[in-house]
Amino acid sequence: MKKNKYLIIGALSLMIGLTGCSSDDSGDVVDPTDDVVIDPDPDPNPDPQPLNLSDYDNGSRVMMQAFYWDVEPRFEWWTNLTEKVPGWADAGIDRLWVPVATKGQSGGYSMGYDVSDYFDFGNYEQHGTTETRFGSREELETFIATAHDNDVEVIADIVINHNSGGGLEYNPYRDKETYTLFDEEHGNASGMFNRNYEDFYPNSVSNYDPGSLFYAETNLDHNRERVQNWLWKEDNSVAKYYKNVMGFDGWRFDYVLGFEPWVVKAWLDEVGGFSVAELWDGRASVLEEYVEETGSGAFDFAAFYKLEESLDRYEDLTNLQGEMLWQTYPEKAITFTANHDTEKDTNEDNNIKRSNKMKAYSFILTHPGYPSVFYLDYEDEAFKEEIKNLINIHNSLATGELEVLYADNDEYIMKRSGTGTNPGLILYISISNSTKRRSVSSNWNNVTLMDYSGNTTYNPTSDENGMVQIEVPANSYAIYSITK
């Protein structure tokens, strides 16, 4: 597959012709070359009129992870989501990734990842409950219908390797009893896709598990024709039932390290739909190879870790020029700043600090890729309006070729060139404790700019060659574009 590389230009190659200023604690602008305090540039237009961003719809939208770990209240989640769908759609969200929708071994407490019955959406009494943690099947169907009425797709979380909650049976391939019996009396009340030890590794066809790190005894063997038929091939398979009966529009494949890439490709070849894989690996090259093998999108863990390293771990924004999936496969890279796993992970290297969340969102919502926002962030009153504004900027001005104009340990400046009549934007991120100003080359000649994030009221005017001095507040970001 041919790769479309975005041009990423480092700081040193662009220093010629650029000048920089920063401020001391007094707020004065300082020329860093001689530490002489100079007067700030006068504001030539103290009251510029912003563009109407709705006039610049670039066709891009944003996905939301519409859950978090152990959502509350139990049995009401589908109803909660149904009520929020219209507002999310108005904000520019076009897909909702929902949790595993079927019954797990933990019953009413299950988040679905201990999958037991692939066809129990909250309508069979088993594992101590009829409803799933999220509600009834009828409530799920109402939610999906409401999403579709608002032109929003619903993405199903699919767990197709490890199973849980079956009954004990003697397993001759392990020479002991294993919980591999799934039927109407043992964790599979629907009676669809009943299974036993022959459907899991090892069996008469396969002697070993090729990659599962847990649930080893109940890891499905996708090489068996029967398993393939039930998962994606037959008319009543999991994939086709989810799509044609329940109305799901796509797939989030859980823990793809536990099975081979050909499985995802075969699934997508059979049923199609939007797809994103959870391949938890921070190496862009690994993610690229997976996209090429499967045709699926993938969460851009490379970008996630570059953001964590830059903003938290090393406090060095030059890391934002490292290799990330969106650079080579922007249409397949689902960028994110948090998910249900990272937010509950006690390893601080696996999550981005709350104090840096909005800077991280400013990055993914201005760069190429398909951004995903996290439910708890969006619904946080401290973040909500800011994220909504960033989504608005993403869906309007974040378009065109990308060029990194400047990067050092505490500053990062990026330009999107725009397309046609769309002016594009310039993103300026700083982790400095002082206000920063820097002169950069824009695509706009003799025009007043403003920060569409609202973080600064500094309104510079570009010169006849497009050079302009922009400002970013301390430990913040600004997103510049033209005014009327």
Distance from C-alpha of 119 to C-alpha of 100, rounded to nearest angstrom:
11
List the beta strands (DSSP E) in 43-187: 62-65, 93-97, 103-104, 115-117, 153-158, 167-171, 176-181
Q: Is 225 helix (H, G, I), strand (E, B) or coil?
A: helix
Task: State CA 168 to chain mean position distance.
Answer: 39
Exposed / middle / buried, residue 52 (Cβ in 10 Å: 0-12, 13-18, 19+): exposed
User: pLDDT tens, position by position, for the chain (484 residues)?
Assistant: 434 444 443 333 333 334 455 544 334 444 443 333 334 554 556 789 999 999 999 999 999 999 999 999 999 999 999 999 999 999 999 999 999 999 999 999 999 999 999 999 999 999 999 999 999 999 999 999 999 999 999 999 999 999 999 999 999 999 999 999 999 999 999 999 999 999 999 999 988 777 667 788 999 999 999 999 999 999 999 999 999 999 999 999 999 999 999 999 999 999 999 999 999 999 999 999 999 999 999 999 999 999 999 999 999 999 999 999 999 999 999 999 999 999 998 888 999 999 999 999 999 999 999 999 999 999 999 999 999 999 999 999 999 999 999 999 999 999 999 999 999 999 999 999 999 999 999 999 999 999 999 999 999 999 999 999 999 999 999 999 999 9
Which residues belong to the annotated binding site for Ca(2+)?
161, 221, 410
CA distances from 104 to 81, 157, 443 (A): 20, 13, 54
DSSP codes, 229-272: IIIIISTTSHHHIIIIII---EEEE--GGGS-HHHHHHHHHHH-
Which residues belong to the annotated binding site?
161, 221, 410
Q: Are 284 and 325 in contact (CB under 8 A)?
A: yes
pLDDT at 348: 86
Residue 192, sorted as left (phi over 0), alpha (psi -120 to 50) or beta, turns out to be beta
pLDDT at 20: 53
Positions marked active-site: 254, 278
Domains of the chain (ranges; CATH) run 12-54+402-482 (2.60.40.1180), 56-394 (3.20.20.80)
Phi/psi of residue 308, nearest 5 degrees: -65, -45
Measured N-to-C along each axis, helices 301-308 and 284-294 cross at an angle, to the nearest 10 degrees, of 160
pLDDT at 361: 98
Q: Six-digit token pair at 60?
A: 């891009």
